């Protein structure tokens, strides 16, 4: 069965349907007929009603070819009769505009058809962005000359590159590319993407089913075994609420074992015994059972019981999925359906889909950098090097763009562009503003081109720039003052032609001197009169001195002062995306100094955001900013020192010492909630933190909680606007799924993140833990909640020292905060109020059990306890 996906192409190419169905909504579909002339685009493929367009606007380079015409190819559909091949260049990439965070079925077709008359199989690599997808060998002896590769993948940005990479002497080629958006809550793997092995419809009818019968355009192949009997129904089958929506023609047929006492068994081969596999089984009872008949069976996958006593629903479809990925010993995988002792009928299965997990570990280059460099490429129409400027600009390193240097830290960190050398590249026109969006650029070389206009002032805004080379162009005017200031204060090296003047560099003409002298005399007279007026006003009025706030003035420190307060960066407190946090002393007071790393994925924008926010907001539950350093490339933030580190350290046990008790945890949760509430309703304009997590909740000497790290914070609109559209930012595991899917940011995104923190506080569990059956804390909590046992959910380190009513109320609140729909989540005011109630309930129960005055345990007064939930 390992070659079934290879055979699928020809079956698909000769695809037929009994009757045409009216075309359904193709919103979000991308269907590229590779090699199709632009004057023939678009067209509707008559068998599927799919609209195909030419690929000419999505690829640079390549040539077009046609498969051989013969009796075998006469029935092949139009999208696969032409192709594009790439005799030039090593890497050639299709660049597609997609929606970030969307789950797509991505399908690529390769039909050789001896287009070149060589009858030689093309062999090459297929990449998805910077990661290898698979190796292609189009001509399989005895099996035809076509291949389909298909994956289900969540896009990480609004740009998707599909690249063909030459690996030997043969020429890469491609026939078609298809993208189909899927529901985000379907086809979910713990990690990675899903590579299709089969979509099988259990029937002996010789037809394939795809769009428009299948709304997602999956291609279902008929499949049958000699030891099976096929059954079918003419009745419609309902029930597609789980989002998988199998076509009626798929779900209305099924297979049962011919020997009714035998199990129904499906076997396939995995490429490797280490492959992780997911099977999606489709069931619907499509026979009308008599009153004394029962169909019940158990489902065993690779010897592990996944479902017991399963009864298919009458004329209603259901999809069953193995809860954890399968690993097939020896590469042989098996799903077995066996009837139970009380079952009178054999097991039944309508269809199956099988996927293996495929990892794409290398992060794509930082999105803003990619957009900026592609805007530069478009502005200059870089024909000389356009063949090399394809795909991801930084990774893989062997394909990085000529003239582009990148900082690649590790595979999980998006690379950043740090140098751009376009010298002697035939550039003309002005220097484009999009260059300033390369915010970590250190060197810029545009020398020896035909650039015109003036030296732009916006170059001074790139705080990381160290060297700018502009000589050998047709620039005019003078160096902007902002750039001269950067030269003087930050050590920027700027190389321009002699005709570009700096202020104070040239001698003005005599008439200019005379004019300036006259103006100066008038100005001096006016200044003297103004000073006399001010002096008299001061004498006649009470003395009032207006000057800049000393406090504000002292907030900015020199880098030498930062080095001094940290004793030359001697003691490290921690590390993060911004850089390293050091321990320091300022006026004998402890401080925490966060220093921006040169390879930081955040950078000056986030630094500026945090400084501006903390200079204007003050709250007891927000970490105070003592000062900052903004000196060229040396950026630092000086905070008040929080003696007990962050919340996550205490929950994970890494901090050592005693475990946080239940009342301490509730107090920390309340104070954190109040800090977030202040951002939402106390700031003007209101702010969304965007990175609420347990490592950003710091604890003081008496374990008072304060929210920290505001580099990703954003203001949000109020009134008629319900959200602000912005790029995704935050931390994996804490991200609001609605924000992730739609790019809609609201204060409820913080509520979701806080709900995850609350789950951590309650359970003591890490947010993502691969060793759990369900790695994500949300799914784990839901599975544990199904048992209704509070002890199995609560952190065992608490040793049952909590009140059941209080803990249930906190848990219910956490689940309310992580509701998938933001409109169903509470605001932070309500969250803080209900957490206070949880603490009151706990203190009241402790007071009763110890027969003490309740006022000893808390300063809160309890006026009503009628809404306290009972123990489950």
Catalytic residue numbers, as ranges: 691
| Residue 706 structure tokens | 């304060």
- Is 756:695 a contact under the CB 8 Å cutoff? no
Is residue 501 a known part of a binding site? no
| Residue 839 structure tokens | 């603490």
Q: How far apart, in whole angstroms, are the C-alpha atoms of residue 728 and residue 749?
A: 11
Element (H, E) at 377: helix 367-380
Q: How far apart, in whole angstroms, are the C-alpha atoms of residue 201 and residue 484?
A: 71
Q: How far apart, in whole angstroms, are the C-alpha atoms of residue 805 and residue 624?
A: 36
Q: CB-based burial of residue 47 (10 Å sphere; 0-12 exposed, 13-18 middle, 19+ buried)?
A: middle
Cα separation of the two ends of the chain: 50
Q: How far apart, in whole angstroms, are the C-alpha atoms of residue 578 and residue 599?
A: 9
- Is 114:68 a contact under the CB 8 Å cutoff? yes
φ and ψ at residue 822, rounded to 5 degrees: -65, -30
| Residue 268 structure tokens | 């396939």
Rounded to the nearest 5 degrees, what angle is found at the Cα of 645, between the Cα atoms of 639 and 647? 120
| Residue 128 structure tokens | 């998805």
Q: How far apart, in whole angstroms, are the C-alpha atoms of residue 357 and residue 495?
A: 52
In SS3 terms, 723-768 reads as: CEECCCCCCCCCCCHHHHHHCEECHHHHHHHHHHHHHHHHHCCCCE
Quick one: CA dihedral 392, 396, 398, 404, positive or negative? positive
- Is 224:255 a contact under the CB 8 Å cutoff? yes
Q: CB-based burial of residue 138 (10 Å sphere; 0-12 exposed, 13-18 middle, 19+ buried)?
A: buried
- Is 393:417 a contact under the CB 8 Å cutoff? yes
Report CA 732 to chain centroid distance, whole Å.
8
**Residue-wise over 234-271: b if at least 16 C-beta within 10 A, else e?**
eeebeeeeeebbbbbbbbbbbbbbeeeeebbbbebebe
Report CA 476 to chain centroid distance, whole Å.
44
**Residue-wise over 674-684: b if at least 16 C-beta within 10 A, else e?**
bbbbbbbeeee
- Is 784:793 a contact under the CB 8 Å cutoff? yes
- Is 692:734 a contact under the CB 8 Å cutoff? yes
User: What length does the chain have?
Assistant: 872
- Per the rule left: phi > 0, alpha: psi between -120 and 50, beta: everything else, 232 is beta
- C-alpha distances (whole Å) from 395 to each of 161, 404, 855 are 12, 11, 63
3-class DSSP state for residue 705?
Answer: strand
Q: What is the DSSP string of 515-578?
A: HHHHHHHHHHHHHHHHHHHHHHHHHHS--------HHHHTTB--HHHHHHHTTTT--EEEE-SS
* The CA-based dihedral angle spanning residues 691, 692, 694, 698, taken in that order and rounded to the nearest 10 degrees: 100
Determine the longest span between alpha carbons in the chain, in angstroms.
115
Q: How far apart, in whole angstroms, are the C-alpha atoms of residue 581 and residue 643?
A: 13
Known binding-site positions: 594
Known binding-site positions for ATP: 594
């Amino acid at each position: 069965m390992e070659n079934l996906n290879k055979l699928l192409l020809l079956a698909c190419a000769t695809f037929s349907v009994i009757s045409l169905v009216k075309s359904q909504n193709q919103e979000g579909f991308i269907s590229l007929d590779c090699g199709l002339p632009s004057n023939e685009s678009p067209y509707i493929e008559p068998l599927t009603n799919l609209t195909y367009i030419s690929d000419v606007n999505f690829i640079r380079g390549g040539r077009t070819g046609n498969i051989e015409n013969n009796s075998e190819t006469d029935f092949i559909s139009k999208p696969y009769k032409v192709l594009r091949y790439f005799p030039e260049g090593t890497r050639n990439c299709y660049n597609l505009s997609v929606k970030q965070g969307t789950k797509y079925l991505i399908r690529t077709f390769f039909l050789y058809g001896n287009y070149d008359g060589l009858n030689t199989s093309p062999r090459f690599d297929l990449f998805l962005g910077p990661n290898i997808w698979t190796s292609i060998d189009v001509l399989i002896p005895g099996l035809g000359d076509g291949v389909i590769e298909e994956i289900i993948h969540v896009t990480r940005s609004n740009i998707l590159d599909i690249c063909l990479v030459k690996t030997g002497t043969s020429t890469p080629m491609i026939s078609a590319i298809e993208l189909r958006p899927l529901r985000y809550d379907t086809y979910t793997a713990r990690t990675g993407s899903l590579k299709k092995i089969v979509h099988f419809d259990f029937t002996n009818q010789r037809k394939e089913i795809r769009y428009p019968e299948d709304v997602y355009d999956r291609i279902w192949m008929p499949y049958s075994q000699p030891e099976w009997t096929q059954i079918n129904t003419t009745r419609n089958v309902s029930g597609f609420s789980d989002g998988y929506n199998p076509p009626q023609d798929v779900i209305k047929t099924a297979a049962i074992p011919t020997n009714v006492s035998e199990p129904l068994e499906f076997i396939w081969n995995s490429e490797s015994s280490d492959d992780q596999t997911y099977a999606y089984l489709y069931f619907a009872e499509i026979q009308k059972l008599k009153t004394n008949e029962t169909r019940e069976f158990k489902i065993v996958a690779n010897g592990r019981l996944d479902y017991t006593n399963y009864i298919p629903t009458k004329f209603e479809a259901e999809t069953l999925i193995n809860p954890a990925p399968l690993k097939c010993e020896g590469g042989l995988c098996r799903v077995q359906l066996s009837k139970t002792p009380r079952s009178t009928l054999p097991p039944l299965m309508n269809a199956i889909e099988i996927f293996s997990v495929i990892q794409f570990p290398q992060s794509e280059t930082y999105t803003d950098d990619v957009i900026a460099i592609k805007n530069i490429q478009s502005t200059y129409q870089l024909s000389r090097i356009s063949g090399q400027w394809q795909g991801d600009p930084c990774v893989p390193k062997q394909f990085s763009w000529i003239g582009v240097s990148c900082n690649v830290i590790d595979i999980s960190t998006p690379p950043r562009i740090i140098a751009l050398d376009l010298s002697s590249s035939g550039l003309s026109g002005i220097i484009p503003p999009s260059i300033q969006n390369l915010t970590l650029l250190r060197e810029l070389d545009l020398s020896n081109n035909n650039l015109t206009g003036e030296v732009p002032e916006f170059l001074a805004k790139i705080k990381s720039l160290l060297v700018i080379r502009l000589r050998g162009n047709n620039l005019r005017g003078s160096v902007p003052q902002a750039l001269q200031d950067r030269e003087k204060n930050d050590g920027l090296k700027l190389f321009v032609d002699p005709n570009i003047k700096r202020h104070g560099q040239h001698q003005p003409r005599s008439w200019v001197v005379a004019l300036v002298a006259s103006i100066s005399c008038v100005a001096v007279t006016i200044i003297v009169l103004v000073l006399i007026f001010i002096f008299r006003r001061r004498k006649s009025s009470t003395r009032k001195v207006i000057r800049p706030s000393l406090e504000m003035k002292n907030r900015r420190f020199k880098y030498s002062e930062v080095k001094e307060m940290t004793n030359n960066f001697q003691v490290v407190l921690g590390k993060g995306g911004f850089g390293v946090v050091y321990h320091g002393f300022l006026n004998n007071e402890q401080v925490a100094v966060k220093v921006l790393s040169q390879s930081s994925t955040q950078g000056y924008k986030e630094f500026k955001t945090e400084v501006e926010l903390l200079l204007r907001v003050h709250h007891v539950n927000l970490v105070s900013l003592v000062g900052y350093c903004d000196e060229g490339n040396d950026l630092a933030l000086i905070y008040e020192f929080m003696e007990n580190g962050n919340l996550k350290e205490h929950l994970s046990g890494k901090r050592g010492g005693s475990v946080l008790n239940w009342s301490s945890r509730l107090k920390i949760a309340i104070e954190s909630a109040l800090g977030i509430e202040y951002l939402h309703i106390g700031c003007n304009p209101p702010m969304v933190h965007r990175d609420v997590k347990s490592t950003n909740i710091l604890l003081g000497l008496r374990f008072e909680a304060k929210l920290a790290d505001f580099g990703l914070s954003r203001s949000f609109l109020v009134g008629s606007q319900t959200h602000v559209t912005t790029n995704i930012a935050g931390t994996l595991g804490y991200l609001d799924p609605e924000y992730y899917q739609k790019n809609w940011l609201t204060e409820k995104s913080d509520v979701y993140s806080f709900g995850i923190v609350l789950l951590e506080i309650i359970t003591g569990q890490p947010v993502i833990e691969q060793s759990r059956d369900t790695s994500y804390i949300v799914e784990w909590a839901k599975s544990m909640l199904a048992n209704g046992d509070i002890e199995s959910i609560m952190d065992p380190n608490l040793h049952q020292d909590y009140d059941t009513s209080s803990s249930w109320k906190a848990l219910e609140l956490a689940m309310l905060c992580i509701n998938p729909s933001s409109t169903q989540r509470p605001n932070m005011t309500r969250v803080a109020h209900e957490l206070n109630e949880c603490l009151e309930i706990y203190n009241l129960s402790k007071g009763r059990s110890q027969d003490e005055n309740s006022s000893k345990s808390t300063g809160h007064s309890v006026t009503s306890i009628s809404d306290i939930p009972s123990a489950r």
